[in-house]
Amino acid sequence: MNEKHHSHDLPFWRKYIFSLDHKVIGIQYGVTGLLFLFFGFCLMMLMRWQLAYPGQPLPLLGNLFSERMMVGGIMLPEFYNQLGAMHGTIMVFLGVVPLAVGGFGNYLVPLQIGAPDMAFPKLNMMSYWVYFLGGVTMIASFFLPEGAAQSGWTSYPPLANIATSGQTVWLVGMVLLITSSLLGSINFIVTIVQLRADGLSFFRLPFFVWAQFVTSFLLLLAFPPLEAAGVLQLMDRLAGTSFFMPSGLVVAGNPLVVSGGGNPLLWQHLFWFLAHPEVYVLILPAMGIVAEIFATNTRKPIYGYKSMVCSVIFLGFMSFIVWAHHMFLTGMSAKMSAFFQITTMIISIPSVIVLTALALSLWGGSIRFNTPMLFAVAFLPMFGIGGLTGLPLGLAASDIHLHDTYYVIGHFHYVVAPGTIFALFAGVYHWYPKVTGRKMSEVLGKIHFFLSIVLINGIFMPMFILGLAGVSRRLYDQMQYAHAQPTQPLNVFISICAWLLGLAQIPFVINFFGSLIWGKKVERNPWQATTLEWAAPSPPPHGNFDTVPQVYRGPYEYSVPGLKHDFWPQNMAQEN
State the pLDDT confidence band at 68, using cuts at 50, 70 and 90: confident
Write down the pLDDT at residue 564. 87
Among residues 229, 263, 213, 51, the alpha carbon closest in space to that of 155 is found at 229
Decide if 379 contacts 426 (C-beta within 8 A).
yes
State the pLDDT confidence band at 8, using cuts at 50, 70 and 90: low
Helix pair 371-390, 264-298: axis angle to 10 deg: 140
Q: What percentage of the chain has pLDDT greater than the value 90?
A: 87
Decide if 413 contacts 515 (C-beta within 8 A).
no
- Distance (Å) of CA 501 to CA 8, 99, 259, 447, 498: 42, 20, 49, 12, 5
Q: How far apart are CA 287 and CA 355, in angstroms?
A: 9
Write down the pLDDT at residue 2. 41
pLDDT digits (tens, 9 = 90+) for 397-426: 999 999 999 999 999 999 999 999 999 999
Write down the pLDDT at residue 576. 58
Exposure string of 468-488, with b = 16+ CB inside 10 Å and e = fewer, is bbebebebbebeeeeebeebb
CATH class belonging to 29-244+262-535:
mainly alpha
Domain boundaries, the chain: 29-244+262-535
Q: For residue 351, is pLDDT > 80?
A: yes
Q: For residue 339, is pLDDT > 90?
A: yes
Q: How far apart are CA 281 and CA 507, in angstroms?
A: 28
State the pLDDT confidence band at 298, using cuts at 50, 70 and 90: very high
Q: For residue 5, is pLDDT > 50?
A: no
Among residues 549, 571, 567, 550, the alpha carbon closest in space to that of 558 is found at 567
pLDDT digits (tens, 9 = 90+) for 83-137: 999 999 999 999 999 999 999 999 999 999 999 999 999 999 999 999 999 999 9
The pLDDT mean for the chain works out to: 94
Write down the pLDDT at residue 575. 64
Q: How far apart are CA 393 and CA 326, in angstroms?
A: 8
Decide if 246 contacts 158 (C-beta within 8 A).
yes
Q: State mean pLDDT over 445-458.
A: 97
φ/ψ (deg, to 5) at 127? -60, -40
pTM of the model: 0.94
- H helices of 437-564, where? 442-468, 488-504, 506-518
Write down the pLDDT at residue 61. 83
